[in-house]
Structure 1
């Protein structure tokens, strides 16, 4: 269910990128205006991460994520009517902004549920499954949305995806519970989860909040390095979510229907890469590697290889461009274990806040990337600088995990008796609020 919800999380984000080319012609938006419209989601989504984390710790993942899904899907549906407003840009910006508010608790909720339901040695794969939904969304729904656009117009892209998301929200409330409230769960299963480092009990009571928790988490070098790495990785994601279809049309001369097929191939590669990264990390844990090595190795390798996207600047062949983009997106998928690390190292009683801070820093890229690339296109008249920028972010992210993050430990701001989760004998990190 987390996988399915996350698919529609990303489908609803990607609707505007699919509709962008036709919408720009109908509404007369230039590249900078379109970049600002793309970024509207990111402004709200990013700003609401810490408040969303507080709400999550207070009311729990099931309720918050289910309501969020229904609200953001309804807002997606309404975007099909922006051409009826006197200022289509203002209407689009406001609806995308509100959608960002509604989606803000989604990934912290995913992470919190995964920590509650899975022991450490299974969490890499569990995280990879819900993380792979972002690629599955693009791979499965890009051709569907392009066909919808070509057949009925850009408005129906928003209508169909929004309506489907509301339906999934109703299914969520029917099937999902937190561990201690699920009647199908035995005591043996709860004991197994807890013995393996899972935290099935964190949803049993509302978690207290204090700004001292935020300060303690934000002042920690390990967390700052993880946050920088996520910003870099999210930059790559947002290039694909926003400008990639336009890049294929305007820089490589592809038709819209061809883009619908071509754009799905890197997404499939990203989905496979995500599974490989999760399996690789969990395999290393079972083989006796420390948590630090098992989690950081796939991330560093993936970020380094994702910088190969810059090769697309020097080729014209459609087949080779698709191959280069697929390698870059596969690599980004392999390295997409940041949420797994957040589950491993966040304070037990501040999981939502820690996840919100992580997603806040990562999704600053959702604001910066669309606008920066729009400016580069307007000023330089090509996508070459944009691809160099995306490649540089891959290298910077790898640098952060190599030289800033250091050993991984459960950050202790609530429970001074807790022990580090890393199997290596390193002193735990204790931070007083």
Structure 2
């Protein structure tokens, strides 16, 4: 079948809707990650104010990830059933109120509860984004938009210390939570007001042909528990779940521990460590953008969209492994930061490619479901990474902790390579 998307210009009305959707996804994604990172930026102030131990802070840092991971399983099916407009809108309201509640926290227990609710509210963001991309882009053109919405993750992490540290210094750590929570409530109104899913009856023949390029339009089974559970009968689902576990585990080793690693293991002072910790995530922002564009090119040259996007994921993950090893072992701080920057670049490239893989490996009616199952595996890795890394570093040093992360990422790459070999059929 002709690759319509590669040979024909995008219809003007579709192009406008695509741009609007991506702008909204990037804005909400940046707010999503600003909210996640607020606790890390305000870490020392919160510990001092509430009298928390390092162990309690570790539990507080991981509370978000556990609820976020567990909610991925039902939320993907809900996105496919209800649609991204309303579910992401509701998620924005819930997570923004939870973020503001964190600013009012005066006890450890209340703060943990606020972070748990934050994880629940933020769960629809990326499954909804994957669904939006599958709704508005044909299969061989989904890498670039997926890279764009994924770029919000490292951009939000990079902006957090730059934006929130001055705010905390000028006011208090409480206001960092109030302001970012208020931003989310405004974004919820804008998202629900402006975003719409495509309605086939309102599309022209040219617009339908563009969106349906390279995929068969079948009558989809009614979305329910049986259709969702059927995904687990396929090797591709398990390959993506286990593979993303490895990718996100290594990414979150650096996401949660990089400032502490630089100060503890690399003996950097506070100011230099803060700057050094920002650079890798700016590289991650570029990684997500470049990977999305590159994966579209690879997919168009590959035998199938699945094999092309899987190859992009595996190559990125093997690169993460390859650069983590010298990052752990070299004596030079500059060389270590350079290696870590490449790892974060490739980690976000891998993430973008993994989400674009979900849009072509899943049946059209269950894109968000498969993406969310994959994300569930990833954030099990994300929840485990800070705890296991801290335990290993406390018992030995950060060197074996980083090498452990590299080993887990390698196993994840092999899961993608050998288990994700063909798309899941609509009625399978």
Q: Indicate if the aligned counterparts of 2:72 and 2:376 stay in contact, CA closer than 8 A.
A: yes
Q: Indicate if the aligned counterparts of 2:311 and 2:417 stay in contact, CA closer than 8 A.
A: no
Within 2, Cα distance between the matches of 1:217 and 1:78? 37
Write out per-residue CA displacement over residues 377-403 of structure 1, whole angstroms, 9 at most, x where no aligned residue: 3333x3223212222222112221223
Aligned equivalent of 2:369, options 333, 347, 353: 353
Structure 1 stretch 188-197 or stretch 130-139: which is displaced more? 188-197
Q: Indicate if the aligned counterparts of 2:237 and 2:373 stay in contact, CA closer than 8 A.
A: no
Q: Secondary structure at the match of 2:268?
A: coil
Q: Indicate if the aligned counterparts of 1:304 and 1:395 stay in contact, CA closer than 8 A.
A: yes
Structure 1 stretch 93-102 or stretch 255-264: which is displaced more? 255-264
Aligned equivalent of 1:242, options 256, 267, 275: 256
User: Match for residue 355 of structure 2?
Assistant: 339
User: Match for residue 17 of structure 2?
Assistant: none
Within 2, Cα distance between the matches of 1:310 and 1:32? 27
User: Match for residue 427 of structure 1?
Assistant: none
Within 1, Cα distance between the matches of 2:329 and 2:402? 11
Alpha-carbon RMSD across the aligned residues, in angstroms, is 2.5
User: Match for residue 4 of structure 2?
Assistant: none
Write out per-residue CA displacement over residues 210-229 of structure 1, whole angstroms, 9 at most, x where no aligned residue: 2x334421121122111111
User: Match for residue 5 of structure 2?
Assistant: none
Aligned equivalent of 1:195, options 190, 207, 213: 213
Q: How much does 1:155 deviate?
A: 2.2
User: Match for residue 75 of structure 2?
Assistant: 52
Within 2, Cα distance between the matches of 1:408 and 1:30? 48
Q: Relative to structure 1, is the Cα distance of residues 317 and 146 closer, same or farther in structure 2, using a 3 angstrom cutoff?
A: farther
Q: How much does 1:196 deviate?
A: 4.1
Q: How much does 1:408 deviate?
A: 2.5
Task: Return the TM-score normalized by structure 2.
Answer: 0.87
Q: Relative to structure 1, is the Cα distance of residues 288 and 305 closer, same or farther in structure 2, using a 3 angstrom cutoff?
A: closer
Structure 1 stretch 173-182 or stretch 49-58: which is displaced more? 173-182
Q: Relative to structure 1, is the Cα distance of residues 371 and 328 closer, same or farther in structure 2, using a 3 angstrom cutoff?
A: same
Q: How much does 1:8 deviate?
A: 1.4
**5+ residue gaps, structure 1:** 415-430
Aligned equivalent of 2:132, options 100, 113, 129: 113
Q: How much does 1:177 deviate?
A: 0.7
User: Match for residue 417 of structure 1?
Assistant: none
Q: Indicate if the aligned counterparts of 2:39 and 2:61 stay in contact, CA closer than 8 A.
A: yes
Q: How much does 1:362 deviate?
A: 1.6
Within 2, Cα distance between the matches of 1:119 and 1:101? 30
Write out per-residue CA displacement over residues 227-281 of structure 1, whole angstroms, 9 at most, x where no aligned residue: 1111111112322332222222333333444344222211111121222222222
Aligned equivalent of 2:404, options 389, 397, 403: 389
**5+ residue gaps, structure 2:** 1-23
Residue pairs, 1:33-52, within 5 angstroms: 33-52=56-75
User: Match for residue 265 of structure 1?
Assistant: 279
* Structure that is richer in helix per residue: 2
Q: How much does 1:353 deviate?
A: 2.7
